[in-house]
Amino acid sequence: MEKALFAGGCFWCMIEPFDSQPGIETVISGYAGGHVENPTYEQVKSQTTGHTEVVQITFDPEMMSFEKLVSIYWEVTDPTDASGQFMDRGDSYRPVIYYYSDEQREIAEKSKAQLAASEIYKEPIVVTIEKAPTFYRAEDEHQDFHKKNQARYQQEKEERAEWAAKNL
């Protein structure tokens, strides 16, 4: 099993697109980076800790490649917005592909270059690719949000789609 770590806005909306894929063992909400050990949701939400909201994915590379995970990531983020994602604004929502190995870094960089060359987006691709820092698991109420809070998750998903339709 391998791990992947992605920041792409609110972690509530980042779980389901990965959780439903074959070869995925777990998708855990959490926080990465920053200067506070074991931060809480309230601390990270305050935009004062330097952390990003992330999902840590444990996957079987024989069933799901890191390259495929990165392609899913591009589908669920706005790679042109360094100030947050959709209606989630601030540094804790900035888009980042974190890597655990040189191979993951190379795959992410190649994929980012291909996306930029495709000219799908008018603006530059601003997602950073950074070495994976310490991962801190988020509180239990933030795990499997799309399953535990289906109505709220659906509302978040719809609001995100509406925002994207108006602003992208």
pLDDT at position 153:
62
**Distance in angstroms (rounded) separating the CA atoms of residues 21 and 17:** 7
**Distance in angstroms (rounded) separating the CA atoms of residues 164 and 89:** 13
Among residues 10, 54, 108, 138, the one annotated as catalytic is: 10
**Distance in angstroms (rounded) separating the CA atoms of residues 159 and 157:** 6
Which candidate, 21, 22, 100, places its Cα nearest to that of 54?
A: 100
Residue ranges in the chain modelled with pLDDT below 50: none
pTM of the predicted protein model: 0.88
pLDDT tens-digit readout, 16-40: 889 989 999 999 999 999 999 999 9
pLDDT at position 164:
62
Residue 13 annotated as catalytic: no
Q: Of all helices (H) and strands (E), which one includes residue 54? A: strand 51-59
**Distance in angstroms (rounded) separating the CA atoms of residues 93 and 51:** 9
Which candidate, 144, 130, 133, 117, places its Cα nearest to that of 24?
A: 144
pLDDT at position 83:
83
pLDDT at position 163:
65
Per-residue CA distances from 47 to 43, 88, 145 (Å):
7, 12, 21
Q: What is the CA radius of gyration of the chain?
A: 15
**Distance in angstroms (rounded) separating the CA atoms of residues 94 and 50:** 10
pLDDT at position 165:
65
**Distance in angstroms (rounded) separating the CA atoms of residues 114 and 119:** 9
